[in-house]
Each structure stands twice: as structure tokens, then as C-alpha cells.
Structure 1
Amino acid sequence: MNYSFLAFCALFCSLVSASSALADPRSDAMAVLAKLRQEGIANRLPDEMRSLDAALATAEMYYQLNDQKNAERYYQLAIQKGAVIQQRLLATTSAPETVDIPQDGPANSVPPAKAQTSPPLPTQTIQKPVSSAAIPVTPAQQQTSVQPEAEEPPPFSSTRLVGTAGIYTVAKGDTLRLVAAKLGVSRTQLAAMNGLSHKDALKAGQLLRYNNQRIIPPHRTRDGIVINIPDRMLYLFQQGSMAFSTAVALGTPTKTDQFVWETPVGKFKIVNKAKDPTWTVPPSIQEEMRLEGKEVITSIPPGKDNPLGKYAMKTSLPGILIHSTTKPWSIYTYASHGCIRVYPERMEELFKLVKPNTAGEIIYKPVKLAVTEDGRVLLEAHVDIYKKTKGLAAEAQALIRAQKLDSRVDWEKVKRVISRKAGVAEEITRNVPETQQTVDASRSQSPS
């Protein structure tokens, strides 16, 4: 081991001291992450580093929402996780982790449900599996053979998933925040995956690794829109198959005595569609303007100052629109007054696909489970942003037991997925010991 105890103490004493002296734990947390990345620790302790990334992603989310209390809490948590990672590196050996199996025993496994025959997610031509050597990009982006420093695992293959693990080629004018919005990923996780600081400028032609592979949420919609709030994703189904999906921005969880801006759950229909819409400011937002001492605006005509952008679709839910935005960097955050914001180019595509009277539903599923066609069990966890559940662990356990997958999952992996809340599909299949595989194989070859 190249790390001495004295070096460890010196590093983290300086970090803790800086954290105490400075009023910005955000910078301290980023410094911890940068230091660990420079040491190459991501390759040695990938699970722990993903946990650190998840804590930073949550902190960044609260930071963007101006929730200083929760942001500082998670930045401090990230600093503590960094210290734990360094401590683990000091140990020359480590005891195996104990798997927490539920006490009421495993249930019989069942075959996965019938595969959904949905086409792949139609996304930007920037998406390509990480293992590819040549990466096709849009005409504005020249092809390059430069590869990232390290390879990511190949994406899972299943019709129950959308998105991929791939590489994005930076275009002129891109920022880290804008790229994250385009891809529907956390800016902090995108930076961490590529060894960047949130302050780093991007260069045209630069390659960024990303992972936005998700589980399609459970639904009964054959033709219509499904929006999952914790997922920050909109899915469009046509004739039983998924025809389109995109990241969205949703209502802020920040509440006041007068206002709640959370996006509501419930069924709806598309009442009408408008190109170059006029925004009629809802009375609640007018009241917010008045209380904040701003000029009260009742409507905004089409144009660059209209927050609805070029396209809007009115839903039957009071005050809720699905619309483009003049703030594309806000996509994949909780930043609206309840409306569903869509990245401008993606909204133009969606506008063409959706007809008036199209049905829709807004759901709240922070934990999703899927079994792939080859029998792999996948779990995905998001922050319970509106705090509507009794806990992500309970949600995960209920899903696993409902499908009778108790005996097929590694409960320690389940814990890690829930802890990270990375928002991407992760495998939780239990690894069968080689001795058990041999027994099973011999049984299958024995005469009945």
C-alpha cells in the first residue's frame, strides 16, 4: 500500500481544518473528491466512490434549490465519506461484508414478466456504448478516436430499460451543467465520472463518459404519457410500446407558508397544444411576485422572454403545462412552479408526436425494479424528493417480495443501491457460489 498513516492524517486533518475555517463546505467536498480521484481510488473502491458521488449529487441538488441547510448537510456527509474511504485504503486486508437476508426466508423465484417490445429510446446521436472505438456524432461534432482514461462497464441489454452508458462529444457552447441537462444526468456525477471539477470549462470535441440507463417505470398506459417525478423523466407510449422518452424539470420541493410548488401526481389529458404560446401567469405566481416586491405580470407574449419557449401543451391538471423552456440548463432538476419543462429540441419532437386528448399520468416511484430477459435483477433508486414514501429500503423490499425475488437478490447490493440513490439501473442479482453451480449443473444432467 502506497498510503501511510501519517499521510492519511495529514491529508484529512488539513481537509477538516479547512472545512471548519471556511464558510463553503461545497468547495471542501469538491476538494476531497478531486484528491481521491487524483489518487486513482475510483478504480480500487468503486462502490465507495459511487456512494461519495451520490452524496455530492444530492448536495448539488439542494444547492441549486437554494436549500443551504440540506446542501451543507450532504456536503459534510461527502467529506466524511472521503475520510472513510481513506481509512479503508489503510487496511491491508478487510473482512467480507455480511449479507443482510430478510428473516422470514427466501421466496420461490418466478420467471420475469413478458418483455416489453418497445423500441430503443430515440435520443441524440451522441449516444454509443462506451466500449466502441469509433463514436458517431452529429455533423457539428467532429469524430475523434480519443478515449476516456478508463472504460465504464457496458450497458445492460433489456427492453425494460431506456438510455445507455455512453460517450458524449462536447459541442461549442456546452457547459457541464448544460450537458448534464441534455443527457438527463446529475452534473456532479457527470463531473466525477470524468475526473472534472464543477468549475472546469469544457472544450469542443472533448469526450465525456455518462450513464443514463434507467428502468422504464411500471405503468398501465398503452397510449399516452407517463411522468415519474423522482425519475425526472417523461415517457410516451404508443400502441403499447415506448415511442419517446426525455428528461424533464419539475416542481421545486421548497415550501413556504403561502405556496407549494410540487408537481402533482394524477391522471390528465392534453387539453390543447400551442406553438409560440402566450403565457398567462397563474394567480398564485402573480401573488408570489407581489410578495417578493416584483412587478406583477399577468401575461407574456411569444418571444425570447416567454418562459414557455416555442412549444406548450396544456394538461387538464390545474395550472400544469408541458412546455419548452428558456432555461435548458434547468432540465433534470426541481426548479419549476409545478409545470413540466422539456429541453427545447426534445420538446419540438414531443410536440409533433402528441395529439390533443392524449391521456397521461404523473406518478411517484423513487424505487424501480426490473428483471432482464437473461434473468438479471436490476434496481434503481432516486431521492424521495417530495418525501412521499415510508423509506426507500421499505419500497425496495416490497417490490422484491412482490415479484418473489428474495432468493435471487444480494441484499447487501440492495443496501448499496438505496444508499447511493444514483438514479440509474444497477444489478442486485445474487452471485451463486461455484460449488452451488456445480451441484445445480450435475442435477440438471442427472436422469429424473
Structure 2
Amino acid sequence: MTLTAHLLPFQQFKHRLASGVVALSTWLIATGALASETELPKGHFLLPEAGNMIGQVYTVTASDEDTLLDIAREHNVGYEEIRMANPDVSIWVPGEGTEVTIPSQFILPDEPRTGIVINVAELRLYYYPEPENGEAPRVETYPIGIGRDAYNTPLGITETTMRLENPAWYPPASIRREAAERGDPPPAVVPPGPDNPLGQYAILLDIPGYLIHGTNQPDGIGMRASRGCIRMHPEDIESVFWRVPVGTQVNIIDAPIKLGWGAEGNAYIQAFTATDEQAFGMETLLNVVGLIEEHEGEGRANYEQVSRVLEEANGQVVPLS
């Protein structure tokens, strides 16, 4: 996944955004909005009046019983997000008193704010519910699991077609074949219950065989571990299940780079591992630097710093100073 080698004018680059190659956001931290969002449910944010920034990074203290995954789930982040934000903290035994960083600051995808937007590179879903009764526009965001190698979650614009409560699971032919080769053939149908990998709720998409659903293995949220479906924590899929109308647009993108500018005028960059696992090359570096200099002025971009962020691709928001 590469960009054109020349520096694209802004409008042309915006056109490239629609393909999901790169997400560019004008980033302003709406501190007033953050203050009022403390009363909103987990994952819910007021849409900022200016800019595309929601949430904030903060720290919590682990208890002796916590795992890093417990903390991630409680604070609405996934496996990769919590791991990359705390590279030196044990996943299974953080230790009592350990300070854990919660990377709960997000740049909204540079896509129309309608329906559901899923950024597979970010392992995150954004839902824009229609405001009701004079409500302020909001966005909800949740960590997700997506397709693993050879089972990539398909990209493009689709829509929801049906909601299923307590769905049965019919193992596809590929799973039945693999299980039979292991000498453990699965049943033709798995009824609702604790052994059902779809969980309690499933939303069908207008792509045959693909769903947004819960899971009976929540530790896999925030990983590339499914056969292409989008998995959510049980409590997260339940929270949106009844409120997502049939026919809601679902825009699935692969945007591994985000750029932004704060209210103070400084530039920021955030990079995730591309789903095709190709390293960002010189073409990408030149385009990113060109966009920074288009906003900041000629000579203001730090090639070495930008290159390092793209190389690490750890999802952390980095100021470009």
C-alpha cells in the first residue's frame, strides 16, 4: 500500500482519503467538550465544534488482580491499543500499583460522519447516531477484532441488513474442513449460548457472510483474529444493537496514517500497522512531509521524526516539534 511519489495538492490528497490509504484530520482539542463528556456513557463523545479530536489520554493504577486486558476492557480500548501504549507492562501480571496509560484519545476518521465507520488499521469502530429531540451530535467509538491473515475484513461501503438476537452459528465449509482434518469436526450448527462465537447479538452486513457481532472470547478484541467479521465486546455490541437501524451505512476503511494540527498550531502524527503489513516507504514519507509543510510552511517538517513514527507504527499520537 503506497502513495504516489509526488506531493499531492490538498484536494487531490483528500480524494485519496476516500480509498482509505491515509486519514488526514484537522485536530483541535475541544477542552470544553471534554469537560461535558464526563457524564456520557463509555465510548460516547460530543462531536467537537471544530477539529476532529475526541477523548484524552490518562493513567490508572493497576490492582494485584488486574490483567492489562481487564484494564483495557474497562476503559474501552483493545489489546493492541493497550499493549502499544504500555510496552513495558506485563499483559497478564501488571502488578499492584503499576501506572497504566489509557490511550483514549482519538482522531475521527476523515470520512462522512454518518452511520458506522470502521478503520481496520486502527482496530476501531465509530458510530454516528442520528441526534434526537435537539440532542447535540455525538459519536461512539469501540475497539474491535477484525480478520486475520488470509481472511482480511473487506473494505468498502455497505449497509446493515438485519439484527439477530441470540443467533445460531453455522460453521462455514472452511472451518468444518479444517476441523475435520484435525479430527474434531464441528456440529452443523452451534445454538445460542456460551459456546457460540457470535455472542448474543449480531448485525448482518450487505456483504454475504460478514457480520458485526459479539464474541465468547473477548480477549481477542483489538486483534486481527477473526475470519473477516467484525467482533465487539459483548457489552459494546449490546449497547449499539438496538439503536443501529437496518439500512445504516457501514464504511470500512484501511487508514494507517493520521495527521492533525492542534489549536496551538503544532502538527501531530499517528501511524498504525498497515493491514497488508508492508512497511511505509519513501513515497509515503514524502507525501506526509509534503502535507505537513503545506500546513506548517516550507522546511518545518522533521524528516527523521516523521520517518521514525512511520517505522514504529505503534498507534501513539506524536507531536511533530
Match of residue 71 from structure 2: 179
Q: CA deviation at 1:370?
A: 1.7
From 382, 403, 426, give the equivalent of 2:318. 426
Q: CA deviation at 1:163?
A: 3.5
Cα 1:305–1:269 change in 2 (3 A) is: same
Match of residue 235 from structure 1: 126
Alignment partner of 1:313 is 2:313: no
Task: Check conservation: 1:252, 1:334, Cα contact below 8 A.
Answer: yes
Unaligned runs of 5+ in 1: 1-103, 126-157, 254-259, 430-448
Q: CA deviation at 1:269?
A: 0.5
Task: Check conservation: 1:161, 1:216, Cα contact below 8 A.
Answer: yes
Q: CA deviation at 1:190?
A: 4.6
Matched residue type, 2:89: L
Alignment partner of 1:382 is 2:272: yes
From 398, 406, 423, give the equivalent of 2:287. 398
Q: CA deviation at 1:391?
A: 2.3
Alignment partner of 1:285 is 2:175: yes
Give 3-state SS (helix, strand or coil) of 2:242's partner: helix
Give the distance between the partners of 1:210 and 1:113, measured in 2 at CA. 23
- TM, length-normalised to structure 1: 0.55
Matched residue type, 2:267: V
Q: CA deviation at 1:302?
A: 1.1
Q: Following superposition, which runs of at least 4 residues in structure 1 exceed 4 angstroms of deviation?
A: 112-117, 119-123, 169-173, 239-242
Match of residue 356 from structure 1: 246
Give the distance between the partners of 1:325 and 1:175, measured in 2 at CA. 19
Matched residue type, 1:200: V
Q: CA deviation at 1:337?
A: 0.8
Task: Check conservation: 2:26, 2:259, Cα contact below 8 A.
Answer: no
Q: CA deviation at 1:397?
A: 3.4
Task: Check conservation: 1:222, 1:238, Cα contact below 8 A.
Answer: no
Q: CA deviation at 1:201?
A: 5.2
Match of residue 226 from structure 1: 117
Match of residue 246 from structure 1: 142
Unaligned runs of 5+ in 2: 1-5, 11-24, 44-49, 132-136
Give 3-state SS (helix, strand or coil) of 2:219's partner: helix
Q: CA deviation at 1:368?
A: 1.2
Q: CA deviation at 1:300?
A: 1.2
CA RMSD of aligned residues (A): 3.5
Residues 41-190 of structure 1: pairs in structure 2 closer than 5 A: 124=42, 159-168=51-60, 170=62, 174-181=66-73, 182-184=76-78, 185-190=80-85
Q: CA deviation at 1:170?
A: 4.6
Give the distance between the partners of 1:428 and 1:226, measured in 2 at CA. 27
Residues 406-417 of structure 1: pairs in structure 2 closer than 5 A: 407=298, 408-417=300-309
Q: Which has the larger radius of gyration?
A: 1
Match of residue 132 from structure 1: none
Report 1 or 2 for greater relative contact order, CA contacts < 8 Å, sequence distance ≥ 6. 2
For 1:77-110, what per-residue CA distance to the aligned partner results, in whole angstroms no more than 9, with x for missing partners?
Answer: xxxxxxxxxxxxxxxxxxxxxxxxxxx99x99xx
**Comparing both structures, which one devotes a greater share of its residues to helix?**
1
Give the distance between the partners of 1:422 and 1:163, measured in 2 at CA. 19
Task: Check conservation: 2:81, 2:103, Cα contact below 8 A.
Answer: no
Q: CA deviation at 1:380?
A: 0.8
Give the distance between the partners of 1:269 and 1:305, measured in 2 at CA. 28
Matched residue type, 1:397: L
Give the distance between the partners of 1:363 and 1:190, measured in 2 at CA. 23
Task: Check conservation: 2:270, 2:313, Cα contact below 8 A.
Answer: yes
Matched residue type, 2:148: T
Matched residue type, 1:401: G
Matched residue type, 2:127: L
Task: Check conservation: 1:321, 1:339, Cα contact below 8 A.
Answer: yes
Q: CA deviation at 1:160?
A: 1.4
Match of residue 301 from structure 1: 191
Greater Cα offset, 207-216 or 296-305: 207-216
Match of residue 14 from structure 2: none
Match of residue 263 from structure 2: 373
From 321, 338, 351, give the equivalent of 2:228. 338
Task: Check conservation: 1:270, 1:356, Cα contact below 8 A.
Answer: yes
Q: CA deviation at 1:197?
A: 3.3
Q: CA deviation at 1:165?
A: 1.0
Task: Check conservation: 2:29, 2:263, Cα contact below 8 A.
Answer: no
Matched residue type, 2:283: A
Task: Check conservation: 1:311, 1:348, Cα contact below 8 A.
Answer: yes
Task: Check conservation: 1:378, 1:425, Cα contact below 8 A.
Answer: yes
**Comparing both structures, which one devotes a greater share of its residues to strand?**
2
Q: CA deviation at 1:115?
A: 7.0
Matched residue type, 1:309: G
Task: Check conservation: 2:160, 2:203, Cα contact below 8 A.
Answer: yes
Give the distance between the partners of 2:220 and 2:276, measured in 1 at CA. 18
Q: CA deviation at 1:277?
A: 1.5
